[in-house]
Amino acid sequence: MMAFFKQYNQRLQHQHGWEVELDCPVCGNHGPPDYAGWTPDSGTCFGTGSTIFANVCCPRCGQDLKQQAGEKLIELFSHVPTPARNRCLVALFIGILVGLPLLLCAVIWAGVQLGWWGHTAYLALTGLSLLLPPAIFWFNWQIHGVRHRCDCGRPAYVFMGLLGRSYCYRCSTCGKLLRLQD
Ligand SMILES: [Zn+2]
Ligand SMILES: [Zn+2]
Q: What is the pLDDT of residues 80-119, one digit of tens each?
A: 999 998 999 889 888 888 887 888 788 778 877 877 666 7
Distance 51 CA to ligand 2 centre (A): 23
Distance 129 CA to ligand 2 centre (A): 39
Distance 45 CA to ligand 2 centre (A): 28
Number of the ligand closest to the Cα of 56: 1
Helix axes 2-12, 119-145, angle to 10 degrees: 50
* Residue pair 16/40 in contact by the 8 Å Cβ criterion: no
Number of the ligand closest to the Cα of 58: 1
So what's the pLDDT on residue 163?
Answer: 93
Number of the ligand closest to the Cα of 61: 1
So what's the pLDDT on residue 126?
Answer: 81
Distance 116 CA to ligand 2 centre (A): 56
Number of the ligand closest to the Cα of 24: 1
Distance 75 CA to ligand 2 centre (A): 20
So what's the pLDDT on residue 180?
Answer: 93
Helix axes 84-114, 119-145, angle to 10 degrees: 180
What one-character DSSP code corresponds to residue 47?
A: T
Distance 140 CA to ligand 2 centre (A): 21
So what's the pLDDT on residue 33?
Answer: 97
In the three-class reduction of DSSP (H, G, I as helix; E, B as strand; rest coil), residue 87 is classed as: helix
So what's the pLDDT on residue 122?
Answer: 74
User: Mean pLDDT for each 10-residue chunk of the chain (182 residues)?
Assistant: 75 90 97 94 67 95 96 95 90 86 81 73 77 83 88 95 93 96 83
Number of the ligand closest to the Cα of 27: 1
So what's the pLDDT on residue 154?
Answer: 94
Distance 24 CA to ligand 1 centre (A): 5
Give me the residue spans of the domains in the chain.
11-81+153-177, 84-148
**Rounded CA gap, 55 and 160, in Å?**
11
Distance 67 CA to ligand 1 centre (A): 13
- Please report which residue ranges of the chain form alpha helices under DSSP H: 2-12, 66-77, 84-114, 119-145
